[in-house]
A and B are shown apart, each in its own frame.
Chain A
Amino acid sequence: MAAIYPVARAVEHAAGLAGVQPLRVFAVLWPLWQVEITARVEDPAEYELLDSFVTRAVGQAGLDTAAAVAGFLGLGERTVRGCVQYLMTVGHLTADGERLELTPRGLRSMHDGRRYESKEVRQQLLFDRYTAGPFPRSHYANAVTVLDRPEPSLDGVRGSRFTALFASTAFRPEIVDALVRRPDRTGYNVPAEIDRPRVDGVRDAWLPAYLVRTGQGLLAYTAASDGRDAFVEGLCRQAPEVTSALPDTPPEDAERRWEAWLRKEHGGGTLRRQPNGVWRGTLPASAFAAGNRRLASYVVHDELFLQLWCDDRALRRTAMRDRALRIAQSRDVDSRAALDRRLGDLGRQYEVEPSTVDDLRAHAGRTGQEDLLARLEALPATS
């Protein structure tokens, strides 16, 4: 699985924001601490049969030796001793010679009907290295990949070389304590049941992110969210070490480089600058004969990006519908409402009227892409 979506998507999103002038995009690896904590929790397990009734025989029926319990339940004493031994191992019973007694945990379990076992749980916690701030739950989702090593290129992400960011801060265990004390800690992936966790190991980790420098500030994009990552944007505001390394002026040689690129890749094309400062290269329809995936999307080289365009409206509409069908397969699109939002965005991006679901159906039928409709049809109205 790719560590993060391709950079073009981040640029598309930024370029689509009203009043924003995207200047440059940076693919970075944001430095984190990945802290492994261990803690003991009282895990409620389901009682089986014998353990439940042996517990109740001791706790409710006043039978306080293995022999008495065995006689009462009609079991062999050996079997009961096996169960008693087990219950002693998990701290539910104590024995004073032959006399059995429930421990506080055993009593609690009996009353709650759940066999509490003290278990050690381990989990990872993520902290930003610049601010020592904890990451919210959203960044622990499966879709978010956190790397062990600062790899410059990530599989599946074509064309991007990620620069690892450097942080000189040293880890202090107090930041874990501070997080555990917060009343809102469940929002930071620390479950309520965990009590007094112990730090068992700290390693460096890296979060792939795209930072888009605009005339209005820095936008951040990670796999944690469909659109902008507000949390990482907040981190940027507090990390001058990072922002100072990201130039905030429009690149001077963009025009020249893109002209050269257009000539080389497509033998020409018209270069124009959009009102929001984004460069657009217009090509004839023939350039998209082999495939229209890149139409209205972005080519990214280093920190520069170029939108590929075609004046052929019909071609753009087709490309948009193909794109819409692909988007409908994505995990992020989990309802009709979400799909409609994306269709609206696409309409603006491709500068044609937004498609409706009927349009997509018809399009899929015409182009033999009916198999892509299945997921679309199954979407609920809202997520």
Chain B
Amino acid sequence: MTVVEVRLPGPLALVPSQGAMRRLGHDLPDPVTLAAELTRLSQRDGLPARIDESRSRPSLAVYTDSCVLWLGLTQNGDAYRINGAAPKGLKDHASLVKGALLLRTGAAWWALPDVADVARMRRERGMTFDTSFSQLLAAWRAGLAVAASPPANPAHTRFLDVLTEVVEAGREIDAAKLRDAEPLRYRQRAATREQRHSARGVYDFTLLRRPDLVKGAVVRIEERPALRGRVVHIRDRTVTVRFESTVDFPAIPPQGGLRPLPSDRVYTKQLEAIGAIRKGRAATDRLLPMLVDGHVLPYQPEAHARPAGVADDEQLRVFRRALGVRDALLVLGPPGTGKTWTIGEIVAACAARGERVLLTSHTNRAVDNVLERLPPHLRAVRVGNEDALTAGARTYLAETQVEALREEILRRTEGAAARLAGVAGGHVDRWSVHLTDRLAEATSAEQAVTAAAGAREHAVRRVTLPLRERAEAAEQAVARAEEALEAARRAEATARDRITRIASLPGLLRGVLGLLERPLRRRADRAAQVGAEAGAALTRARSELATAEGAARVVADGDPEVTRLGRVVTAAERHRDETLRRVEQAAAGLRSALPADVRPAPEPAQGPAGPAVDLAGRHREAAALARAAAQSRARATLLAQWRDRVPTSGASLQRELVKYADVVAATCIGTATTELLAELEFDVAVVDEAGQISLPNLLVPLARARRAVLVGDHRQLPPFLDEDVRLWAQRRAADPDADPGTGAQIGDLLTRSGFERLYGTLGEDHRDMLQLQRRMPEELATFVSRTFYNGRLRTRHPGGGGNPVFRSPFAMVTTADRPAAERGERRPPKRAESHGYVNPLEAGLIVELVTGLTAWHPDWGVILPYRAQVDLVRELLDARLGDPGRTAECVGTVDAFQGGERDLIIFGFVRSNDDGRVGFLDELRRLNVAISRARRQLVLVGDTDTLERAGDEKFRQVMQAMTAYLRHSGDLRTSAEITAVL
């Protein structure tokens, strides 16, 4: 509702027209009443009004509670004519809601019978009426231009809608695939030797066919849908499943089916993250501005921060920026540039200054690599699927830490618990009671002493009463004499002082005042004499007092009653001392019953004479001991409850460990799927392998963190894109009804990682690149740098090679010297279950190379683009080397080697045909990953003929450049040559 307030100076004049008068005063109020109503409304909440510009002359409509008046300007323009009036109806409400002016004025509306009255009022009363119509018109037009309520940023909303659509499409496709698929039939189930972390059942299922399952997938027994578990291990046809709860083994059918379930959790969490961002509930409100608008916040790098270890220039710069950035920093980390180290330093520094860090990545291995290198004084917790972790990382798991913690707690508190059990067991209470009783005895003994001494004193006084007067008189005489002596001494001193002062005056004054000297001297002498007399009197009085007191004593001592009472006093004192000793013993007993750490300090001794501590001291001591006893009782109870609760509070402890941790580490999906992180927000998220994470997955941790540091390489492998999802996107983009922008946006969301998207759009201050690589030999690095990193990589490397076969660390063996039939690619044999292609010639060559080079490069790896070729090479190598475990580890596809490195890397291209068809080899990023794994020697094996004729232009260019480079700075050999050498 657009409501524009307008203040009018007024006053305003209304002149009803003839037409209006037909209604005013009849079925509608008369003009004067109306004017009063208008005035009331204008002065209170405002008079609603609208302007109608549809006619040639705009008119004003004003609304009272019950009717509407249509007004036009009079000819002079200084008054309104009421052109028409009607009762207010619902239509009027609706119109006002669409847009209204609210007129306010401190002045009044006047109803005048005739236009002439306007001038008359001016003449006679000096009133100038003002319609302020132009002001109203201007305000009305301005109000119309203003939108009723600003809509939420439409670009942001659209982006979130597209994202939601992509996620939901993915979920649907996933669910449909699993729904439509046949369950995986198994013919046998068995117990396993799997390491147990709990009582949940873990069983092996032997399937009829090799499954297309990934570790971590959720499956359920087809015939018993309630039995659900997670795939822990897949070995050929045997699948190990860890069930969600303790399973009754006989309940599992001996033969049956395993149905993989859609891991809906991931999609749900992605949608939750999107929803939180939409509602503004994410930990940061910078995500949409960054992703959609490319807006970033300015910041200062931490200029003086230093990592714990030694950093190269770029690492240092990245480190300082990461500590200072307020929204997001993107770090491009090409192979071998020390990403893991840099990330570790950033995480440690952020945690050290009190930030709560979320360490996350695409794979468990990347997370664990950083986690295991963090300094031990940081509190770090790993969250995730226990089977997917390294042994080292597993110790960081919340569950593991809690286990260890529980044991440790019970062990460490055992001693204290035993000691305190004595407290609870009553020792302390008994000693306390004992002490209280002894103290009461001592108190009454003390009272007895006081009473006895009092009685004796009373008796003494009674006996010496007659002598009292004499003693009192003597006391008074002493007092008087003391006073007199004091006065005389003062007088003498004053006088002598004056004499001295006069003596010290200069001559003339001395002469004048010297006259006073003689009287002063006389005064002084007199005072001295008085003093002497007083002194004598004092001596006499004192001796008299002493005599009187002595006499009294004799009398008292001689009195049998006094003597008797004196004996009573002595006995009471002895008894009291005895009780005090017993108190001392009781206190000592209580003190030793108390645990050492609550024992108060003992009371200090009073002095050498009498009992070491008097009664008051013992009371204080008893109070302190009582307090200590209460505390030890409280501790005993607390410790007992603690030890009781700890064994069964695993869940609570886990949640707390995570809550109090400095660093929480989990994969992106892991952050989503665990309940432990439910309410937690992070100060910074550090994301590794960000180039491999799709945007929906990335948003899950980012929505929980106030700022982020993303480290990745979008020139290496992109996020995995399910083929069905890609087809869906294509169909969607091709849909004639679809908005073309949306189709493009969807395509972009699916093919580019969030990292790549942001790296291109956020500006210089928010992106950086590590440039010093230490893995690859220079010859290889230069090629990689040129091809993939705009030549920006530098190398620090001791040098590669080191085998007698190749002349350069960057080498290739081409099969182009063989006839087409020999070097050509084949389809894999039917019995194998994998897709793709094989190349037997290449496979053979590779086996020779491995066998020949392994002596100089024991740390080797073979990377092949096709599973089928992997299987073939493995088979051949097993036969040759006889170490199947090793071959399984060392021969694999590119994905298996992502993030890893070997001294020797052999990469086979496999494709060899007449048409230059290379299939997905043209994904150059995969090639980048494959060849950048080598630390000492890279050997490529392929048909340069086919490769240099490849259909894809970019790939072809790179291949041509590569072969040229190899000829020039590397080592390009034919297969025949190599076979001969090996």
Give chain A's interface residues, CB within 8 Å of chain B.
26, 28, 31, 48-51, 53, 56-57, 60-63, 72-76, 78-79, 82-83, 85-86, 148-150, 152, 163-166, 168-170, 203-204, 240-242, 244-247
Contacts and interface: CB of A to CB of B under 8 A. Distances in A.
B638 A168 contact: no
A241 B68 CA distance: 11
Given A74-B413, A245-B90, A164 B65 contact: no
A78 B408 CA distance: 14
A237 to B, nearest CB: 14
Given A62-B598, A74-B412, A150 B653 contact: no
Contacts of A149: 148-149
A49 B405 CA distance: 13
B582 interface: no
B507 to A, nearest CB: 72
A164 B95 CA distance: 9
Given A48-B656, A166-B93, 11 more contacts: A48-B652, A60-B638, A62-B631, A62-B634, A74-B416, A78-B377, A83-B660, A86-B659, A163-B94, A241-B65, A245-B88
Contact of A168 (B100, B642, B653, B655): B100
Given A79-B405, A163-B94, A245-B89, A49 B646 contact: yes
A63 B41 CA distance: 70
A75 B645 contact: no
Interface in B407-442: 408-413, 416
Nearest to B639: A72
17 contacts: A49-B653, A51-B656, A57-B638, A62-B635, A75-B405, A79-B657, A86-B660, A164-B1, A164-B93, A164-B97, A166-B1, A166-B93, A203-B149, A240-B66, A241-B88, A244-B87, A245-B90
A246 B639 contact: no
A98 to B, nearest CB: 16
Nearest to A68: B597
A79 B96 CA distance: 64
A79 B412 contact: no
A249 to B, nearest CB: 11
A244 B66 contact: yes
B674 interface: no
Contacts of B872: none
B644 to A, nearest CB: 11
Contacts of B656: 48-51, 83
A358 B632 CA distance: 72
A82 B377 CA distance: 12
B92 interface: yes
Contacts of B149: 148-149, 203
A62 B148 CA distance: 62
A50 B655 CA distance: 10
Interface of B: 1, 3, 41, 45-48, 63, 65-67, 87-94, 96-97, 100, 102, 148-149, 377, 379, 405, 408-413, 416, 598, 631, 634-635, 638-639, 641-642, 645-646, 649, 652-653, 655-657, 659-662
A49 B377 contact: no
A165 B659 CA distance: 52
A186 B604 CA distance: 63
Considering residues B67, B412, B416, B657, which has the most beta carbons from chain A within 10 angstroms of its beta carbon?
B412
B638 A150 contact: no
Contacts of B92: 166, 245
Contacts of B409: 73-75
Contact of A163 (B93, B598, B635): B93
A249 B645 CA distance: 76
B631 A61 contact: yes
A57 B641 CA distance: 12
A74 B411 contact: yes
Most chain-B Cβ atoms within 10 A of its Cβ — which of A57, A72, A76? Answer: A72
Contacts of B631: 61-62
A203 B660 CA distance: 40
B379 A49 contact: no
A204 B149 CA distance: 10
Given A72-B416, A170-B46, A49 B649 contact: yes
Contacts of A50: 653, 656, 660
B90 A163 contact: yes
Contacts of B641: 53
A317 B457 CA distance: 116
Contacts of A49: 645-646, 649, 652-653, 656
A53 B638 contact: yes
Contacts of A57: 638
A165 B652 contact: no
A72 B635 contact: yes
A163 B631 CA distance: 73
A26 B94 CA distance: 13
A213 to B, nearest CB: 11
A241 to B, nearest CB: 5
Nearest to B635: A61
Contact of A82 (B66, B416, B660): B660
B93 A245 contact: yes
Contacts of B87: 244-245
Contacts of A82: 379, 660-662
A53 B638 CA distance: 8
A86 B93 CA distance: 56
Contacts of A48: 652-653, 655-656, 659
Contact of A56 (B1, B90, B638, B655): B638
A25 to B, nearest CB: 12
B94 A168 contact: no
A83 B653 CA distance: 11
A149 B90 CA distance: 17
Contacts of B416: 72, 74
Contacts of A53: 638, 641-642, 645
A168 B102 contact: yes
Contacts of B598: 62
A242 B659 CA distance: 56
B279 to A, nearest CB: 12
Contacts of A150: 1, 97
Contacts of B379: 78-79, 82
Contact of A244 (B46, B65, B91, B97): B65
Contacts of B46: 168, 170
Nearest to A60: B634
Nearest to B646: A49
Contacts of A245: 87-90, 92-93
8 nearest interchain CB pairs?
Answer: A82-B660, A74-B412, A166-B96, A74-B413, A244-B66, A164-B97, A74-B409, A49-B652
A194 B629 CA distance: 42
Nearest to A244: B66
Nearest to B49: A168
Contacts of A165: 90, 93, 97
A7 to B, nearest CB: 14
A86 B354 CA distance: 12
A74 B408 contact: yes
A75 B413 CA distance: 9
B89 A166 contact: no
A240 B46 CA distance: 16
A149 B649 CA distance: 51
Contacts of A63: 635
Contacts of A204: 1
A48 B649 CA distance: 9
* Most chain A beta carbons < 10 A, residue from B63, B377, B635: B635
Contacts of A247: 89
Nearest to A161: B94
A86 B638 CA distance: 21
- Residue picked from A61, A83, A166, A169, most chain B C-beta under 10 Å: A166
B93 A73 contact: no
B634 A79 contact: no
Contacts of A51: 656
B374 to A, nearest CB: 13
B3 A168 contact: yes
A51 B642 CA distance: 12
A56 B92 CA distance: 68
